[in-house]
Amino acid sequence: MTVLTLGQATMRALGTMTARGPSARPKTPHRTGAPVLRDSIEAGTFEAMFFTVPAKGETDKLLRIARRTLDAGRQLRREARSGARTLSAVERRIAALTAAAVRVYEEILTLARLNRGQVFPSYDHLSDATSLGRATIARALHSLEALGFLVRQRRFKRVEAEGPGPRYRQTSNVYRPILPQCVLAYLPRWMRPAPRPDDSVQHEADQRDAMAAMIAGLSCRDLATVTVGGALGRMLAKLGAGIDRLERESQNHPQPLTQ
From 174, 191, 208, the end of a domain falls on 191
140 & 231 share domain = no
At a CB cut-off of 8 Å and minimum separation 6, what does 116 contact?
Answer: 51, 53
Whether 155 and 40 have beta carbons less than 8 Å apart is answered as yes
Condensed to tens digits (0 to 9), the pLDDT of residues 10-68 reads 445 445 444 444 444 444 444 445 578 888 998 999 999 999 999 999 999 999 999 99
- With a cut of 90, say whether residue 127 has pLDDT above it: yes
Whether 76 and 97 have beta carbons less than 8 Å apart is answered as no
The verdict on residue 58 lying in a domain is yes
Predicted confidence band of residue 187 (pLDDT cuts 50, 70, 90): confident
143 & 63 share domain = yes
178 & 52 share domain = yes
180 & 220 share domain = no
Residue 257 corresponds to which amino acid? Answer: L
Predicted confidence at residue 62, as pLDDT, reads 95
Check the CA dihedral 90-96-100-104 and report its sign.
negative
Q: Higher-confidence residue: 150 or 206?
A: 150
Section 130-146 average pLDDT: 96
The verdict on residue 87 lying in a domain is yes
184 & 227 share domain = no
The verdict on residue 208 lying in a domain is no
The verdict on residue 259 lying in a domain is no
157 & 227 share domain = no
Predicted confidence at residue 252, as pLDDT, reads 61
Section 148-168 average pLDDT: 83
How many structural domains comprise the chain? Answer: 2
Query: Could you give phi then psi for residue 172, rounded to 5 degrees?
Result: -65, 150
Residue 167 corresponds to which amino acid? Answer: R
The verdict on residue 124 lying in a domain is yes
60 & 128 share domain = yes
108 & 176 share domain = yes
Predicted confidence at residue 98, as pLDDT, reads 96
79 & 161 share domain = yes
243 & 126 share domain = no
For the question of whether the overall pTM of this predicted structure is more than 0.75, the answer is no
What domain range includes position 146?
41-191
